[in-house]
Every structure is written in C-alpha cells, then in structure tokens.
Amino acid sequence: MQQGQNNQVTVQQALQIAITHFRSAKFPEAEDVCRQVLQVAPDNVDFLHLLGLIASHTGRDDEAIGLFERAVKLKENDPLLRFTFALTLQKCGWQDDALLRYKEALALKPDYVEALINIGNILKEQNKYDEAEQAYKQATAIRPDSAEAYNNLGTALGHQEKPAEAEAAFRKALDLKPDHAAAHYNLGALLEKQGQSEKAAQHYARAVNFKSPLAMANLNLANVFRENEMFNEAIALYEYSHMRHPDDHKILAELVRLIYNASMWEKSGPYEARLLEMVREKRSGIYLYSLLCIDATPEDLLTCARLFSQEEYPQPFSHSKRKPGGKIKIGYLSSDFFEHATAYLMAELFERHDRSRFSVTAYSYSDNSDESPMRKRLKKAFDGFVDVSGLSDREAAQKIHDDGIDILIDIQGGLTKNARRGIAAFRPAPLQVSHLGYPGTSGARFIDYIIADRFVIPEDQEKYYSEKVVCLPDCYQPNDTQRKIAATAPTREACGLPAQGFVFCCLNDNYKVTARIFDVWMRLLKKVPDSVLWLSEYNKAVKEVLRRQAERRSVNPDRLVFTKKIPLSEHLARIRLADLFLDTLPVNAHTTASDALWAGLPVLTCVGDTFAGRVAGSLLKAANLPELVTYSLGDYEARALQLAQNPGQLAAIREKMDRTKLQMPLFDIERFTRNIESAYSTMWEKYQAGEAPQGFVVEQSKQ
C-alpha cells in the first residue's frame, strides 16, 4: 500500500511539472513528461487530456482529437474534458460535433457558463440567432457579472434587428467591464447604424485606446471621420491600420475605397496593386465596390464575388412544385423603395406589370418612416408592400417563403449599400434573380439568374458570372417615363456657370472619377477656351481636393464649377444648361446617364471591360445614339474635343434626342415591361419542366 501511495505521489508531481511546462509554453518539455507517464500508465486520463491540449496548441489537431476521444471514454463524467475536446473540434471547423460536446459538458455541469457562451457562438455562426440569444441569456442568468456573455448577447440581438435590446446588452457589458474593447466596438457599430455617428466615434476611440486587437475599431472610427468630411484623418487611420495589419485584405480594400471617395488618387498606386494581388491569391471577404474603380478584370470580380459569398449559405428552404397555371408570383426585395436612384428607374415597371399573369409583391427593408412621394407611389404600385425591416434575415425569408413567391428579384444583388444578402441566402423562393442594383456578378450560389443585355455582358464574358445570364433585347435598365422636368430652369449665371462658353459636365459620384479620366478632362479644358467643368459637390472637402488636383495640372481651379443636389425635377431642368456630359471609367454613369438623356443632354462614354464600365454604352445604343460611344480614352478625348469645337454637330444630336425621345427603346417602358415579363415566364417554364437554370436571350416583344 505504501509503495502504491508513493507511486501516486510521484504521478501527481509529474502532472504538476507537466502543467507548469505547458503554462510556460514549453510544449516539448511538457509532452516529454506526458509520454513518459503514459508508457507506464497508458489510461491515465489527466495525462491523455494534457497531451491532447499540447497537440492542439502545436497544430496537431487530428492527434488531439484522438487523445480526447480516448480520455472521454475512460472518464465520461468530466465536463472540463468534454469542453476542451469541443474547443479543438470548433477550431477545426467541426461546428456540429463541437456543439454536441459543449452540450454534453453542460449536461454534466448545468452552470457551465463558458460552455453556454461557446454554444451561443456556434449557433450565431450558423445564423441561428434566436437560439444563440437563449444560450447567452442562460449564461447571464447563471453569471450576471459576465461581461463577455452580455457582449455576445448584444451581437445576437443585433443580428435579429433588435437594436434597443442589443444596446442595453452592450451597455451592461461595459458597466461590468468598462475596458471591454469588443463591447465598445459593437456598441459603436450599432450607434453608427442608427445614425448616431458622434456617439459611435466615442466608442470606437475607446476600443482603440484599450489596445483592442479589433482592427475594425480603427476602421469604423475612420468611417465616422469620413462621414464628417475629415478625409485626411480617415485615411491616416486606415493607413495606420494597414501598417499594423499588412496582410488584412479587408482593411486594404476599405483603404482603396476611401482614397477614391476622397479623390486622393496619388496615394492609391501601391495599395491598388497589392489589393489585386490579394484577390488573385483568393483572399475571401473583400468588398467588391473596392475593385470597381481600379484595373480589376471580369475574372477578378468573379473571383472576389465568389470568395465574398462563400461563407453565407445557411440551410435553405425547400420548395415543392406547384400545379401549372395561375399567376406567377414575383417578389422584389430591396432597401431602396424610397426617393432613390433605383426607384426612379423602376417605379413604372412595377406599375405596368400585367396583373392577369403576374402577382407582384415588394419586400422592403428601407426606412419604414419614409413618407416621400416616391414611397407612396411605390406602395400603390404593388399588389402587396411588405415591410420586413424589423425582421431578422431568417424571419424575412420565412415570410417570402410563406407567401409562395415563385421568383424573387434581389434588386441590390445583395451587394449595394444596406443590402441584406442574408435574406436571399436562405433561398426563400425557388428561383432567385439579380437585377439592376449591383452591376456585376454576385458570386452567390443562391442567385440563379442575372438580368442583362448583350452589350453589358457580351457572350464571351458570360463565363465570368456565377449566375445564368438572361439578355433583354434592348437594354437591361428600365426607365420611368413619369420623371417630371420642371417647367422653368435657372439661368447659367444662377448656377455659377459662364453665360458664354462651353460647359462640360459630369454629375457622377466622385468615387467614379479617376486620375486618368480627370487628366483627360483637364486637357480638354486647356484645349477649349472659356470652357468649364460642372461637377457635383458631394461634400466641401472633396471639392477642395479636386480644385487642388486641377491646379496641379496647370488648370485654373475656378474652371471647376460645383453644384449641389436638388429635387429630381429641378435637376432635370437644370442639367440642360450643360453642353456635353462626360462619362467616367472604369465605372460609368448609370442612373445619372439615364437622367441626362431623359433631359436631352448628350452623354459621351468610353466603354470598359466590366459590366460597370459598359452601362452607358448600353443606354446610348438603346437611345439610338451609337455615335456617342467610344472604345478608348484617346477616341473619347478626341470625340469630346470635336463636339466642343463643332457646335453644329452637337446641336444636331440634341435636336434628334428631343424629336425621338419617346420612340427610343430606352424610354419605351411598355416594351421593356413585356420583355422582362417574357424573361420571367421563360425562367418559370424551365423550372416547372424540371430544367436547371440556363442562360437565354429574350426575343423582342411584339406589342
């Protein structure tokens, strides 16, 4: 007996030595002790457990899992053993297996808060936010002083669009632990989403001050600076974050995007080159809008889109075939059902849908308090207008599924501002389509088709789209013919323009203006005496940057004239004061070009390689104005100069536009409606016949 006791003491001492080595990260020494003991006592659970931890910490996860499995069989009532086993499974991405082990640990120890928190974390990653919420609430009930549990509860509530409850949870976490960096960051993000940018900035700053590993705290603080037109400060924060995390592609993508928003192109070169390298290295999660203004190829955009979408595939809804006949139920999903550029294009399409063949429902997650004339018009345009802004993605998808929608049109392609791609990710409809909002591929398996035309997506480029391409016969873009043009227009002098002299204009968002296109514009100003360039003043900071950019190119900055946003009807009357609209590249004017053409202002474009750079060409072809489409910046510059120096040519083009506007395919909304309805019918017929989605070209509708 004494000898046995001495041996027991020796084993315990060895265990303490091994644990001391492990805690000091002396893994080889700890492993050596474990293996010596296990040679003598191969079923010693403590040493199997510790050796499993060592294997996990040194990247030998398969070995660790095998050791944990042996230990669990030997000691079935040990909750800590099951917990550490679950940690390794979770690290390996085996979420369901990890969840099972965490639940087993919890069954053995009902107050195991750490297990509850990790259960909630896995459920949250699986988009089961309501179940995650319950796990976190159970954790807070057991341990009301757990800041971590309250912070995680806040994130689960936020995903369910419960902002008040989420805010309360984050604030409780901060009451318990004022230096909780993640809670400061999460609360800042929540407040920023609610439009409280100043308060958000305070929390982002505290997250940074607490030396948080959350690089996004720096970025979100930079976003607040950007919103307040403090571009130098914003870019400095992005560059600092990039310096600290040079391999973080998300930071770099945001930095490139900000540089273009701020028109500080001289900073962009090395960042753009590295960003493209990262795309080609197949880094996931890069926001696609960061690539549109740089030299990304269609292949780059597809790669980026697929990687951006790869982690967003929750368990989809199932769909059963319904009996033939009856109306096809169309659902339009968007956050842009208000005074928005997309609504200006699509409103009449919604109104003109053939109600004998189609039932049309809007699913809106835009601001429910909006009472603008456009919002009121849109509500009347649909058979049903469903506000899903207060629902979680799963709940919104459930509503669409329960309504029996046959074809869901994601107007934003899941990628534009405020888009909730998670709704379509549940596949609430048997057929799902991207149209209009995002000019490119979504990269998502849950989007079956993209509506296009043969100009924006040439046949040889279809391979760069994850969706099947459906080509309309004229143009992919609808146009509302009820856009009113104010009866009276201001004078040139009232707009700050010269009474005489040629007025070039570009009212695109400033992020579309690149150094190369700006160089062309400045050369045109030099070659055309007394000419000016009329631009949108999106903010005063960028106005001053562009004036400095002109000065660097030896152009008097006073030849840049800036105008502010005004109501659409007044804008359409005002824009006619210009002589020629100069388009941008690699991202063209989209709605802005349609507005100019509707108002009677000629648009000169240069065709790019991607969807976003081919839109204006498509519009001009459908407006019967191919003479305004160029295919190189050299030809673009030469054509602009020719038109500026030959007023008779330009006058003839304007006269043609005014005379034929209502006969242009671009503005024949009845024709467009019949064509897109033909597309919907063909998609549905193929689905009902059991065929997989496949691309096709729509024949011109016979009215």
What residues contact 455, with CB distance under 8 A and at least 6 apart? 475, 614, 617, 618, 621
**Average model confidence (pLDDT) across the chain:** 88
If pLDDT is split at 50, 70 and 90, which confidence band does 569 have? very high
When pLDDT is averaged across residues 224-234 and rounded to a whole number, the result is 73
Residue scoring higher pLDDT (81 or 128):
128
Amino acid 661: pLDDT: 95
Residue 439 has pLDDT above 70, yes or no: yes
d(CA 416, CA 344): 16
Give the residue ranges of DSSP H helices in 353-458. 373-381, 393-402, 421-425
Residue 416 has pLDDT above 90, yes or no: no
Structural element, H or E, at residue 261: helix 249-261
Amino acid 23: pLDDT: 78
CB 577 within 8 A of CB 489: yes
d(CA 588, CA 442): 19
When pLDDT is averaged across residues 577-589 and rounded to a whole number, the result is 97
φ and ψ of 403, to 5 deg: -75, -5
Amino acid 677: pLDDT: 98
When pLDDT is averaged across residues 68-72 and rounded to a whole number, the result is 76
Amino acid 1: pLDDT: 26
- Torsion angle, alpha carbons of 51, 57, 61, 63, to 10: -20
When pLDDT is averaged across residues 186-211 and rounded to a whole number, the result is 76
If pLDDT is split at 50, 70 and 90, which confidence band does 359 have? very high
When pLDDT is averaged across residues 468-497 and rounded to a whole number, the result is 96
Q: Any idea what DSSP says for residue 210?
A: T
d(CA 71, CA 60): 17
d(CA 189, CA 191): 6
What is the Cβ-side half-sphere exposure of residue 493, based on CA atoms within 13 angstroms? 1
pLDDT in tens, 278-320: 999 998 878 888 899 898 999 999 999 998 887 656 678 888 7
Amino acid 614: pLDDT: 98
When pLDDT is averaged across residues 43-71 and rounded to a whole number, the result is 77
Highest mean pLDDT among 66-75, 150-159, 171-180, 635-644: 635-644
Amino acid 3: pLDDT: 37
Residue 431 has pLDDT above 90, yes or no: yes
pLDDT in tens, 526-554: 999 999 999 999 778 889 999 999 999 99
Amino acid 478: pLDDT: 98
Amino acid 551: pLDDT: 96
Q: Give me the numbers of helices (H) and strands (E) for the chain, helices first please.
A: 30, 14
pLDDT in tens, 74-124: 787 888 877 877 777 777 778 787 888 788 888 888 888 888 888 888 888
Residue 215 has pLDDT above 60, yes or no: no
Amino acid 333: pLDDT: 97
If pLDDT is split at 50, 70 and 90, which confidence band does 208 have? low
**In the chain, what percentage of residues exceed pLDDT 90?**
56
Q: For the sheet containing 503-506, what is the strand order?
A: 560-563, 532-536, 503-506, 580-582, 603-606, 629-630
Give the orientation angle of helix 129-142 with respect to helix 113-125, to 10 degrees: 170
What residues contact 310, with CB distance under 8 A and at least 6 apart? 284, 443
If pLDDT is split at 50, 70 and 90, which confidence band does 350 have? very high
pLDDT in tens, 397-414: 999 999 999 999 999 876
Catalogue all structural domains in the chain, each as residue range(s) with its CATH number. Answer: 328-472 (3.40.50.11380), 493-667 (3.40.50.2000)
How many residues are present in the chain? 703
Residue scoring higher pLDDT (504 or 85):
504
Residue 370 has pLDDT above 90, yes or no: no
When pLDDT is averaged across residues 40-54 and rounded to a whole number, the result is 79
Residue 211 has pLDDT above 80, yes or no: no
Distances (CA, A) of 626 to 500, 619, 647: 29, 9, 19
Residue scoring higher pLDDT (259 or 221):
259
Amino acid 92: pLDDT: 72
Structure tokens at 328: 């096809």
Structural element, H or E, at residue 328: strand 328-334
If pLDDT is split at 50, 70 and 90, which confidence band does 2 have? very low
Burial (Cβ within 10 Å: 0-12, 13-18, ≥19) of residue 642: exposed
Strand, helix or coil for residue 408 = strand
Q: In angstroms, how far is CA 40 from the centroid of its own chain?
A: 58
